[in-house]
Homo-oligomer: A and B are copies of this chain.
Amino acid sequence: MDVVEYIQANKAQFFADLKEWLAIPSISGDPAHHDDVRRSADWLAEYLRGQGFPTVEVWPTAGLPAVYAEWPAADPDAPSVLVYGHHDVQPVTPLEEWDTDPFTPVEQGDQLVARGTSDDKGQVFFHTLGLRANLAANGTDAPPVTIKLLVEGEEESGSVHFAELLTERRERLAADAVIISDTTMWSADVPSMCTGMRGLAEAEITLRGAEVDLHSGSFGGAVPNALHAMVELLGKLHDADGRVTVPGFYDDVVPLTDEERELFARLPFDEAGWLETAGNSRAAYGEAGFTTLERIWARPTAEINGLWGGHTGPGGKTIVPREAHAKLSFRLVAGQEPAKVRDAFVAWVEANAPAGVEVEVRTPGGGVRPCFSPIDSAGVAAARRAMEKAFGKEVLFTREGGSGPEADLADILEAPLVFVAVGLNDDRIHAPNEKVEMPLLLKGAEAAAYLWDELATALR
């Protein structure tokens, strides 16, 4: 029995089991549902035992529990692979916008509708079917790589205890690659894999002129105005080409390869439609020489998130404001270190702040390191072959602009990330009427079945 035959033979049971799990309202952001999150963990643990995992444990945290399962390879020298997903879900408000009950999964044509179908229970679940298909096709009772499955319970509430969990359990979680199944493909017709997520660094600037707001009639035009200083300073943060002017800002950036740019360019990107999703932004705008997709996926940014000073209430107030404040953040890409970017920015502010104002720059938080797996790295190439075999067509590449627990997985476990996911951007995750395309979940299972054989060779 080959992989596809096994999946076809078992898909009815697969969806029946998934529906049982989806019925548990494991909303980690709502304390009233924390017992449900625990129940979800227990249900999954029991299910994984039933699927044959030799080791299944529920791991408590200071918050909500994760589930860990391990199925060792027959060959003790085989590589280890960690699969990451989460079993908690987003809240379901506003409930009145749901056409059906969010925790009563219903099939509508090819779609399965319920909270968590795409993000992320459905995508965790295809791995169970995929692994069993792999075993069936290979006629063995142990996979070609040691599989470690880690299913978090706090992803939708900020993964607040996840780094701690990874650090504590680092030995047992050790792996040659981490498979992330919590993202999306470009579209049902255009299968793709994510290869990186931007990181983050943050800074706050305060400029101070006088000790008090001054009357602009008496003093205006003859003393520094903190807001003038701030607009003069931050007006220089980008050059005419939209490039960040902080010295060294781009030094460590891993450049896009010609192949990546060419593959990005083959994605059928509808810029007008994208601008609509961007709050009806009036125009694309950014660093010269890069496309919109390159800008949001592979180029670092310096963004003013907030700025304030002086009189911000109704009416006018003719003051020379004493202080100006700005909050900034930097999206970082492959190669950049948050600490280095912060230091460069602090130096830039100190070198460029206009005369006559006191300068204070703070850089709160440790930041988030970007994560990135080159398209020609062993894990990504292997997963691409598995995906292409399942989908029967070329698999393209994307990246993502933000990042969640992925950076912690890469940093703490020091393993390359490989994103294998079959969600779609129109799955309405975090929104009413979340759905998953059932045929895509089965393609995910198929890709996962092939993946372990590919990785057994590629990671050895």
- In residues 50-64 of chain A, which contact B (Cβ within 8 Å)? none
A396 within 8 A of B: no
Once the chains bind, are B282 and A357 in contact (CB under 8 Å)? yes
Once the chains bind, are B299 and A224 in contact (CB under 8 Å)? no
A280 within 8 A of B: yes
A104 within 8 A of B: no
Once the chains bind, are B222 and A296 in contact (CB under 8 Å)? yes
Report Cα–Cα, A202/B235, bound state, in Å. Answer: 23
- The residues of B that contact A324 with a CB separation of less than 8 Å are 307
Once the chains bind, are A209 and B281 in contact (CB under 8 Å)? yes
- The residues of B that contact A355 with a CB separation of less than 8 Å are 283, 285
A284 within 8 A of B: yes
Which of A211, A305, A308, A324 has the largest count of B CB atoms less than 10 A from its CB? A305
- The residues of B that contact A357 with a CB separation of less than 8 Å are 282
Report Cα–Cα, A199/B225, bound state, in Å. Answer: 19
- In residues 295-334 of chain A, which contact B (Cβ within 8 Å)? 295-296, 299-301, 303-312, 315-322, 324-325, 327, 329, 331
A382 within 8 A of B: no
Which of B235, B299, B364 has a CB less than 8 Å from the CB of A232? B235
A218 within 8 A of B: yes
Report Cα–Cα, A21/B94, bound state, in Å. Answer: 69
Once the chains bind, are A321 and B301 in contact (CB under 8 Å)? no
Which of B278, B309, B327 has a CB less than 8 Å from the CB of A214? B278
Query: What is the CB-to-nearest-CB distance from A302 to chain B, in angstroms, rounded to a whole number?
Result: 9
Report Cα–Cα, A324/B304, bound state, in Å. Answer: 11
Once the chains bind, are B356 and A281 in contact (CB under 8 Å)? yes
Report Cα–Cα, A311/B204, bound state, in Å. Answer: 12
- The residues of B that contact A279 with a CB separation of less than 8 Å are 209-214, 322
Q: Considering only CB atoms, which chain B residue lies closest to A358 in the complex?
A: B282
Report Cα–Cα, A331/B295, bound state, in Å. Answer: 43
Report Cα–Cα, A225/B401, bound state, in Å. Answer: 16
Once the chains bind, are B305 and A221 in contact (CB under 8 Å)? no
A392 within 8 A of B: no
Once the chains bind, are B364 and A221 in contact (CB under 8 Å)? no
Once the chains bind, are A281 and B210 in contact (CB under 8 Å)? yes
Contacts A235-B231, A306-B317, A312-B306 hold; do A296 and B221 have CB atoms under 8 A apart? yes
Once the chains bind, are A220 and B331 in contact (CB under 8 Å)? yes
A198 within 8 A of B: yes
Query: What is the CB-to-nearest-CB distance from A345 to chain B, in angstroms, rounded to a whole number?
Result: 14
Q: Considering only CB atoms, which chain B residue lies closest to A328 in the complex?
A: B316
- The residues of B that contact A213 with a CB separation of less than 8 Å are 279
Once the chains bind, are A215 and B316 in contact (CB under 8 Å)? no
Once the chains bind, are B312 and A281 in contact (CB under 8 Å)? no
Report Cα–Cα, A281/B287, bound state, in Å. Answer: 38
Which of B310, B319, B327 has a CB less than 8 Å from the CB of A316? B327
27 contacts between A and B (CB under 8 A): A200-B217, A202-B318, A210-B280, A211-B279, A216-B303, A217-B400, A217-B403, A218-B402, A219-B296, A220-B303, A221-B295, A222-B292, A222-B296, A225-B303, A228-B303, A231-B307, A232-B235, A282-B358, A283-B356, A303-B318, A304-B321, A305-B319, A306-B312, A311-B327, A316-B329, A316-B365, A318-B402
Residues on A close to B: CB < 8 A? 198, 200, 202, 209-225, 227-228, 230-232, 234-238, 275, 278-287, 292, 295-296, 299-301, 303-312, 315-322, 324-325, 327, 329, 331, 355-358, 364-365, 400-403
